[in-house]
Amino acid sequence: MHLNRLFFALWPDDAVRSAAADVARGVRIRMSPGGHPTPVEQYHVTVLFLGSALSDAQEAAARQAASRIKVPPFEWVLDHAGSFRAGRRVPWWLGAHAEPPELRLLHERLRQAMQAVGISLERGRFVPHLTIQRGAEQLLPKTAIAPIRWKADEFVLVRSHLDREPGGYEIIARWALDGAPDAEREPPDQLSLW
């Protein structure tokens, strides 16, 4: 099987990445989780996972469809840490109590666009988070953190190389979040019958 593991993501800038790394260090010192920290250069928020074996044609279709997505930029605030059980692995993450509606809109528009070009997607609940620790030995209760403000003005398509050594992520395309908020969009031209 040809591995081509792709996902759309928000990719933090250096300031957000640094602030998240500081919080992650502090949480690890207090909680001694075991497992291994996510490398800071791999910090991201997955918006939509496309699969592990996309063909070249599917990848091209995904890029083309994503280029037509229009969502306004938005700011959100990572304000707590937590965890969830994923089999025997327990990832720790940073998240936001208040999810920006634009982030949900981006997820839904990408999902609809990918389905329209024939990419089968797993159905799961969208829980935006930035993973800071993998394979922890204990759950992390929801913990307040110093707020991290994140101005999201683009989304990216990422290829995962975590199946090989050295592992990592490769950004293969970027798109600006530059759409007008729905309330500010121009109404469609009216068709006159007279």
Q: Note the pLDDT of residue 160.
A: 92
On the 0-12 / 13-18 / 19+ scale of CB atoms within 10 A, 130 is buried
Over 70: is that where the pLDDT of 27 sits? yes
Which domains, from first to last, does the chain contain? 6-184 (3.90.1140.10)
Dig out the tokens for 40 from the structure: 């800071």
The pLDDT value recorded for residue 2 is: 62
Residue where the block lists tokens 């121009």: 186
Average pLDDT of the residues in 43-62: 95
- Maximum Cα interatomic distance, the chain, rounded to a whole number of Å: 73
For residue 124, how many other CB atoms are within 10 A of its CB?
Answer: 7
- Side-chain-side CA neighbours of 27 within 13 Å: the count stands at 29
Least reliable range by pLDDT among 9-18, 25-34, 49-58, 109-118: 25-34
Q: What is the mean pLDDT of the chain?
A: 89
This prediction's pTM = 0.88
* pLDDT tens track for 103-127: 999 999 999 999 999 999 988 889 9
